[in-house]
Amino acid sequence: MLKILVLILVLVIVYLIFFKKKKSDKNQKIENLVECKKCKTYISSEEALIKDNNFFCSKECLNGLDKS
Rg of the chain over CA atoms, in angstroms?
22
38 sits near Zn ion (criterion: CB under 5 A): yes
Which residues, including other chains, have CB under 8 Å from residue 23's CB and lie 6 or more apart? none
Site pattern 18..37 for Zn ion (x: CB under 5 A):
------------------x-
Strands 42-44 and 54-56: unpaired
Find the shortest distance in angstroms from Cβ 28 to Zn ion: 23
48 sits near Zn ion (criterion: CB under 5 A): no
Find the shortest distance in angstroms from Cβ 31 to Zn ion: 18
Instruction: Give the range of 2-10, 11-19, 22-30, 50-58 binding Zn ion by CB under 5 A.
Output: 50-58
CA dist 30 and 67 (Å) reads 32
